[in-house]
């Protein structure tokens, strides 16, 4: 590998953990090393979906989002584990703390990947030496593998990190595009989903190179401004900065969960609503945020999914207020068919410090009264471990989720 060290321009890393959930479980339990492992949500309760799998399982054809039954047919010896998100969060925090020792310019984008701008950190060595030392340290101290892409911008770094897995380090410079990037199928381009790929193929754009050389006017006609952005990236142009504050740019905070079984049992549904609202409230408190719109997501037994939302005259943050709106939306829009999944999201979210709220006398008195009640509930919840006014059908606090909120991604700073 060449010791690329540009004299001008940026040096960007994309650090991507390999098979992260499965790798964390293997590090926690070394007896799993070398064996096919899959992480699946609630595998004991319903036909689960593979969230991620080890490379040994992938070699047998096991893929993410594959039904667990199909995965076991392909790999009868598959070891299936429930997700342990607290364990994954802890590992993620330690990884990002290692990155932050090299540069303050860190942008986490998910629990297992993030960007680093190491421009001007020559004291740590050449970019390749920094990548090698970081990769080795993560492996030695946490027993976790990662791949690192090195490039002059975020897009090329992201593409580079995907080129060698596991434990790869790849440099992707603009002069390498014709050899390393342009021959790739258009579906492999970061930012191109299946629907966009289908549209691109319909106009004879089958590779990233085809996109780079395509007619700009035609792209704008079909895709608007996004067509221009995609073509610029295909040509290696991406000016977006590595932004440590990007993790705070959230417009919604939500929580969703698949039920143990498809149900029309209103008691079970209401209990889950309470839990989801508590999750949302907790995350909003953590961010010191409030929101002005509430959305409910209902996925039925046949996978049909609807979302309905309501804008509010004032900002809210407490679970009681969230539930009031959710109950109204649910009453209006549930068609009485069995429900598979429920989700609650507070939208139009902003941090309290950004909001200068004007209260009239009536609103102030009403909120002051509520605040006393909220403080009492919070006190009792802390004392007894849960809201004593809500009787749960079962304790679900530690049940795994198959999706991940991003509101913890700045934990490494604390």
> Which residues, in sequence order, are CB contacts of 4 under 8 Å at separation 6+?
126, 127, 128, 150, 171, 173
Tokens 């339990």 correspond to 29
Q: Which of 25, 113, 278, 317 is catalytic?
A: 113
Among candidate residues 252, 311, 298, the one with its CA nearest the CA of residue 272: 298
Q: What is the DSSP pairing of strand 79-81 with strand 252-263?
A: unpaired
Q: Cβ of 5: how many Cβ atoms within 10 Å? A: 12
DSSP state of 414: -
Question: What is the C-alpha to C-alpha distance for residues 157 and 49, in angstroms, rounded to an integer?
Answer: 30
Extract long-range pairs of 192-200: CB within 8 Å, 24+ residues apart: 192/230, 196/223, 196/230, 199/223
Q: Cβ of 298: how many Cβ atoms within 10 Å? A: 21
Q: Does the active-site annotation cover 266? A: no
DSSP state of 214: S
Q: Cβ(27)–Cβ(143) under 8 Å? A: yes
112 labelled ligand-binding: yes
Distances (CA, A) of 337 to 276, 297, 347: 20, 14, 26
Question: What is the C-alpha to C-alpha distance for residues 174 and 48, in angstroms, rounded to an integer?
Answer: 43
Q: Cβ(402)–Cβ(41) under 8 Å? A: yes
Token pair belonging to 211: 């996109």
198 labelled ligand-binding: no
Q: Cβ(77)–Cβ(34) under 8 Å? A: no
Q: Cβ(258)–Cβ(293) under 8 Å? A: no
* Cα three-residue angle 348-354-356, rounded to 5 degrees: 100
Q: Cβ(106)–Cβ(99) under 8 Å? A: yes
Annotated catalytic sites, by residue? 113
Binding site members for Mg(2+): 16, 112
Binding site members: 16, 112
């Amino acid at each position: 590998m060449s010791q690329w060290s540009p004299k001008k321009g940026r040096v960007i890393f994309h650090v991507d953990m390999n098979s992260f959930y499965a790798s964390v479980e293997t590090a926690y339990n070394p007896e799993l090393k070398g064996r096919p492992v899959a992480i699946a949500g609630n595998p004991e309760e319903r036909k689960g979906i593979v969230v991620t799998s080890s490379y040994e399982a992938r070699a047998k054809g096991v893929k993410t989002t594959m039904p667990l039954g199909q995965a076991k047919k392909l790999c009868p010896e598959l070891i299936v584990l429930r997700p342990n998100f607290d364990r994954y969060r802890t590992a993620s925090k330690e990884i990002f703390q290692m990155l932050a020792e090299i540069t303050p310019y860190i942008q986490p984008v998910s629990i297992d990947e993030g960007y680093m701008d190491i421009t001007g950190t020559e004291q740590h060595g050449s970019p390749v030496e920094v990548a090698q030392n970081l990769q080795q340290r993560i492996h030695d101290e946490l027993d976790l593998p990662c791949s690192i892409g090195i490039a002059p911008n975020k897009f090329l770094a992201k593409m580079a990190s995907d080129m060698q897995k596991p434990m790869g380090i790849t440099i992707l410079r603009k002069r390498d595009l014709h050899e390393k990037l342009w021959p790739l199928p258009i579906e492999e381009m970061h930012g191109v989903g299946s629907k966009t790929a289908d549209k691109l193929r319909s106009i004879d754009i089958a590779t990233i190179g085809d996109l780079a050389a395509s007619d700009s006017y035609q792209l704008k006609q079909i895709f608007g401004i996004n067509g221009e952005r995609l073509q610029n990236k295909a040509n290696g142009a991406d000016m977006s900065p590595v932004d440590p504050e990007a993790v705070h740019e959230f417009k919604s905070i939500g929580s969703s969960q698949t039920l143990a079984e498809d149900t029309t049992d209103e008691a079970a549904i209401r209990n889950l609503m309470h839990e989801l609202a508590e999750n949302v409230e907790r995350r909003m408190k953590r961010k010191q945020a409030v929101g002005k719109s509430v959305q409910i997501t209902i996925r039925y037994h046949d996978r049909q999914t609807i979302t309905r939302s309501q804008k509010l005259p004032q900002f809210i943050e407490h679970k009681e207020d969230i539930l009031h709106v959710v109950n109204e939306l649910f009453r209006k829009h549930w068609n009485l068919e069995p429900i598979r999944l429920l989700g609650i999201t507070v939208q139009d979210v902003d941090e309290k410090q950004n909001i200068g709220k004007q209260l009239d006398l009536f609103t102030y008195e009403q909120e002051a009264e509520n605040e006393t009640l909220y403080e009492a509930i919070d006190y009792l919840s802390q004392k007894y471990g849960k809201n004593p006014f809500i009787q749960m059908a079962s304790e679900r606090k530690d049940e795994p989720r198959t999706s991940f909120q991003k509101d913890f991604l700045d934990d490494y700073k604390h």
